[in-house]
């Protein structure tokens, strides 16, 4: 049974002093997760948001519909000249994200600290 997607935004500052929006997801990401993923992204102030980190550390499962939603978010961010990175994916989903081409739009990192160090 699919668990509900929970999401929230944390505003943090990079080691270089730049503001970063961290979208934190929990549960499963599927077709029913559109509002939790895209709705959360759309709530960010576009002019002030230059870097978006996607936190998947508490995501248990992502199906193909969920991957499509994540890709849509990344495309919108790219079109808005925002930098996107993701972290906390399991080894399986890191492989899946790489296979479907998500790495064209976002770099993948094991941890938040790894992502911040690379920005």
What is the per-residue pLDDT across 53-90, written as a single tens digit (0 to 9) for each? Answer: 999 999 999 999 999 999 999 999 999 999 999 999 99
Is position 11 within any domain? Answer: yes
Give 48's contacts (C-beta < 8 A, 6+ positions apart). 19
Domain count of the fold of the chain: 1
Tell me, what's the pLDDT at 15? 85
With 80 as the cut, is the pLDDT of residue 19 above it? yes
Cα dihedral 107/112/57/11 (nearest 10): -100
Is position 67 within any domain? Answer: yes
What single DSSP character describes residue 30?
S
Token pair of 61 as six digits: 């499962």
Is position 12 within any domain? Answer: yes
d(CA 79, CA 75): 6
Tell me, what's the pLDDT at 1? 60
> 16: domain CATH number?
3.30.750.24
Is position 1 within any domain? Answer: no
Beta bridge partners of 7: 25
Check: CB of residue 5 under 8 Å from CB of residue 31. no
Helix, strand, coil % over all residues of the chain, rounded to 5:
40, 35, 30
> By percentage, how much of the chain surpasses pLDDT 90?
88
Check: CB of residue 54 under 8 Å from CB of residue 82. no
Give me the mean pLDDT over the 38-64 stretch.
Answer: 95
pTM above 0.85, yes or no: yes
Query: Which residue range(s) make up the domain with 82?
Result: 6-118
């Amino acid at each position: 049974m699919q668990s509900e997607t929970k999401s929230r935004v944390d505003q943090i500052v990079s080691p270089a002093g730049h503001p970063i929006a961290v979208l934190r997801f929990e549960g499963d990401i599927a077709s029913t997760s559109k509002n939790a993923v895209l709705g959360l992204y759309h709530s960010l102030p576009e002019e002030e948001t230059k870097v978006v980190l996607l936190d998947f550390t508490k995501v248990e499962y992502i199906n193909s519909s969920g991957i499509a939603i994540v890709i849509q978010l990344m495309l919108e961010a790219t079109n808005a000249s925002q930098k996107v990175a993701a972290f906390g994916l399991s080894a399986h989903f890191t492989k899946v994200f790489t296979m479907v081409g998500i790495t064209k739009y976002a770099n993948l990192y094991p941890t938040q600290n790894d992502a911040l160090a690379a920005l």
